Amino acid sequence: MEILLVIFIPIILWIASIYMLYEWRKFKPFFIANAILLIVYLTIIIYGNSTFWKPDVYGLGMLFRLSVCLISHVLIVFVFAIIKRQKLKKTIANNTYK
C-alpha cells in the first residue's frame, strides 16, 4: 500500500502543479528548467560516483534516493505553484478593478 502512495502522490501533486501554473506566462521555461533539473538529479543518482555512497548490493539505496529526490522535487514545485497561483490571482484581481 505504501508503495502506491509513493508512486501516486507525486503524480497527483505534479498534475496539480501543472494545472495551477498553466496560466503563468513563464510556464514553458519553468517546465523545461524543472525537467532538465530532474534529469540531472536522476542522472547523478543513477550514474554518479559510487564512492560517494556506501556499496549498495541490492539497489535499495538507489531506489530510496530516487524516491526521495522525486518526492522532494515535486513537493517544492507544488509549494511554489501554490504561492505563484495566489500571486497570479491577486494580479488578475488588481487589473480587473482598475
Query: Residue 98: pLDDT band by 50, 70, 90 thresholds?
Result: low
Closest to 14 measured CA to CA, from 79, 89, 91: 79
CA distance 8 to 22: 21
Per the listing, cell 497527483 goes with 12
Q: Where are the domains of the chain?
A: 2-92
Q: Which residues contact 88 (CB under 8 A, 6 or more apart)?
A: 23, 24
CB 73 within 8 A of CB 9: no
Quote the cell numbers at residue 72.
Answer: 522532494
Query: Residue 32: pLDDT band by 50, 70, 90 thresholds?
Result: very high
Is the whole-model pTM more than 0.85? no
Q: What is the pLDDT of residue 31?
A: 92
CB 75 within 8 A of CB 13: yes
Question: Any alpha helices (H) in the chain, and if so which ranges?
Answer: 2-21, 27-47, 60-96
CA distance 42 to 89: 34
